[in-house]
Amino acid sequence: MSDRLLQPNHERRVLTTFRHVDELISEAVSRLEPAESESPLSEFVLDAQPQQHKAAVDSLSRLRAVMGRFLASHQIAVPPRNVSALWAAHSACLHAKLSVEELRANSMRGCGKLTPEAEGELETLATELSEILQKLSESVALPRQPH
């Protein structure tokens, strides 16, 4: 019989919950960031004061410390990181480019008739957004591996 306090199923549940809490609170902290990082498309009112953002950052740090101590004290192994941040960013760019393509006149006609002026505006918009996303995608692309 093992001298471990938690069974493997419990350990996986603890680890899954910790990851979920970390993700939720990380997202909450990012929503409290100062106004200079504001997206014009955000649904959130930037009503947090700098001290509230700092308190949230500090709390996230303490949460991570407590969770880390628990994992270490119970010898719960955290699987090694296996997803490249560059790959994830590059993939996000590809998905965004696909979404932008849906703004082209061909796709938008499915929502109803477009005037020639509206078609031109949409084509110009989609092209500009696609070019920016392409440059971003190239800047975060993983280096090619020699065969």
CA atoms of 103 and 83, how far apart (whole Å): 30
As separate numbers, helices (DSSP H) first and strands (DSSP E) second, the chain gives: 5, 0
Assess whether 101 and 46 both reside in one domain. no
Is there a domain that residue 33 lies in?
yes
Average pLDDT over residues 114-118: 96
Q: Name the H helices within 74-115.
A: 85-101, 105-108
Assess whether 43 and 95 both reside in one domain. no
Assess whether 89 and 53 both reside in one domain. no
Domain boundary among 42, 73, 104: 73
Look at the chain and report how many structural domains it folds into.
2
**How far separated are the first and last CA of the chain, in Å rounded?**
48
What is the pLDDT at residue 71? 97
> Which residue segment(s) compose the domain that 25 sits in?
8-73
Q: Is residue 1 scored above 80 in pLDDT?
A: no
What's the pLDDT band for 144 if we cut at 50, 70, 90? confident
